[in-house]
A and B are shown apart, each in its own frame.
Chain A
Amino acid sequence: MRTLFEKVWQAHVVREAGDAPTILYVDLHLLHEVTSPQAFSELAARGLAVRRPDRSVATMDHSTPTVTAPAGAAARALPMAAGAAEQLAQLEANCARYGVPLIGWDDDRRGIVHVFGPELGYTQPGMTIVCGDSHTSTHGAFGALAFGIGTSEVGHVLATQCLLQRKPCTMEVRVDGALGPGVRAKDLVLAIIARIGVGGGTGHVIEYTGSTIRAMSMESRMTVCNMSIEAGARAGMIAPDDTTFDYLAGRPGVPTGEAWDAAVSRWRALATDEGATYDRTVTIDATTIAPMISYGTNPEMSIAVNAPVPGLADYRDGPALERALAYMGVTPDEPLLGKPVQTVFIGSCTTGRTSDLRDAAAVLRGRRVADSVRMLVVPGSQQVKRQAEAEGLADVFRAAGAEWRESGCSMCIAMNGDQVRAGDYVVSTSNRNFEGRQGPGARTLLASPLTAAACAVRGVVTDPRTLL
């Protein structure tokens, strides 16, 4: 009797020997411009080749501009942050030299690494997937074992397609019941992190189970798995089912015909066996969850949007809360509802997919972004962008007064010039509310696309259920 995690792990053990960690084989290696250059330099210094370019795909997403280039001009000619142009050119040179496929500037499949992987069907159940990026956990929504690695490890995978890994523990997060109106996957995962803490998943791979997860779309499952790292977990996984196979069928990276049928039957066998056990289990009642918002400087510091900020005595660590609230300009016991916000950001690998944009557009249709608010809508990929334009969502955003952008990480990490002014509040659908994450001095309130859009319309923190 084995769990989903154990099945995927065991299928990728190359060798176990002595006191050394397990040598684990990597099926798919995703690369981006920020965490790869030093790894390629290491290869060059040692005269090594990339072992499996056919198991590697690179893209540029973190520092690329998201403004649309003027007609006739190339995106690469747009003004860029210091060092970004060089870093992007380095990625192109490295991919050319080592034969690594690159989804580059003019590629219509370009997007955030965790958005295009699933979209193109490169992400598949049962795989091991790594990337020099902590939100690689996103791909676990397909029943893959997917986790972030450092740049030294990027070099290890480039050269050997393997990693030295200690086997993590397992944690089941079981969620049952229907989510209420206006409550989305983002709210659920913020509630989970508020419950188990930013370090609560350290050393563990989380498997999300239960009726709520089963009822979710792949997009929602990706949102949940994406934020596993915000609870400190090594990875988040969900057993593949018909929802998974329906999503993948026909995508460019998946097999066809008999090979597809064989793959699906292999994938079905990945689900955790009846009676298999986890090292820890946490249960969550989905019916009790409200739309969530963060109030502090890590994702654990999140509350129901209509609840007051905790008092200093109500939080496990008073001094930490005090410091966080001072940065945020929020007082203990203060309700956030009605607090003015200056920026709203919809996008990122957490919630930059078409279904997320549909949610935001549903709120904005026939309404306007408040005059006091700057709103950015950044699709997760160029495919999402085209889809949103075809569905008329882009028109809704433009008509409401929001900026409609090209795809990229954008204001999630504020490396490309899209950033929040010091002291301003931003309601953001991304994943991290760390100090300065969205620009030095920026104050982030994490929320779902539905809540973010509602806040944009009212210009203040708003319960989205009042606008449904």
Chain B
Amino acid sequence: MTPLPFTTLEARAVRLVRDDIDTDQIIPARFLTTISRAGLGRHLFADWRCDSMNAPRPDFPLNAPAAEGARVLVAGRNFGCGSSREHASWALADWGFRVIIATSFADIFRNNASKNGLLTIALGASDHRALLDVLEGDGSATLHVDLAAQRVAAGNWSASFTIEPFAKRCLLEGVDELGFLLAVDADIAAFEVRHTPGVAAALLTASRAAS
């Protein structure tokens, strides 16, 4: 899938300032028996957002009136830990989020996010605190995100953020990583010729046995 390009964004933010939010919370496993990537937003944070009767919990930030139309999620440390399920990114994007701000991210989540047009911004602790202060003062403050300039601002606060250059290029231009890999087919073929033959032979045997 070619991701939606990301250049700039002006949008409200929702605060879900907890550490170690795992992908089982972002989308519980019982919603993974699907063969599609569409429509998963309705299961986003299902068990936190709704009670066991499927009624929205009024105290959950995503259910607050100010969360309507928010495109930025602000979390704590180590967002997206646990399972590799890309359904987490699909659910966040389908809900409408384009940016996740945290103090750190789990590796697999971060990899998955950029492939789905989701920008992950890791802020240092003091910038994170300052942003939360702005949002505490005005819950419907608009965040400005400029990917090319690598800056994020809200109210009279602003900060720069770092991003891996290739992820930045992919997001800005909507570059599709699979297309990038397909374009180096000749290099892959050359590698396959020189790659340790013993390993391949062993696997060929294995796959014959398995098929």
Contact = CB atoms under 8 A, between A and B. Distances in A.
Contacts of B206: 57, 120-122, 252-253
Interface size class of B (residues with CB under 8 A): 35 or more
Nearest to B164: A166
Interface string A122-143: 1010110000111000000000
Among B78, B81, B192, the one with the most A-chain Cβ atoms within 10 Å of its Cβ is B81
A75 interface: no
A103 B106 CA distance: 31
Interface residues of A, number: 94
A55 B29 contact: no
Contact of A55 (B18, B20, B33, B207): B207
Contacts of B210: 57, 101-103, 109, 120
A332 interface: no
A282 interface: no
Interface stretch (A23-31, A65-73, A181-189, A447-455): A23-31
A127 B196 CA distance: 10
A384 B52 CA distance: 37
A436 B28 contact: yes
B170 to A, nearest CB: 9
Nearest to A300: B20
A121 B203 CA distance: 9
A406 interface: no
Nearest to A166: B164
A23 B18 contact: no
Interface in B155-211: 164-166, 169, 177-178, 180-182, 184-185, 187-188, 191-192, 195-196, 198-207, 209-211
A164 B164 contact: no
A413 B180 CA distance: 35
A70 B188 CA distance: 49
Interface in A87-133: 87, 90, 99, 101-103, 109, 120-122, 124, 126-127, 132-133
**Chain A to chain B: the 3 pairs with minimum beta-carbon distance, closest first:** A83-B33, A253-B206, A199-B78
13 contacts: A23-B187, A38-B86, A55-B207, A83-B34, A87-B33, A101-B210, A152-B178, A156-B178, A160-B185, A259-B198, A414-B30, A435-B25, A437-B29
Given A126-B199, A127-B199, A298-B20, 6 more contacts: A15-B184, A15-B191, A87-B35, A414-B29, A435-B25, A437-B29
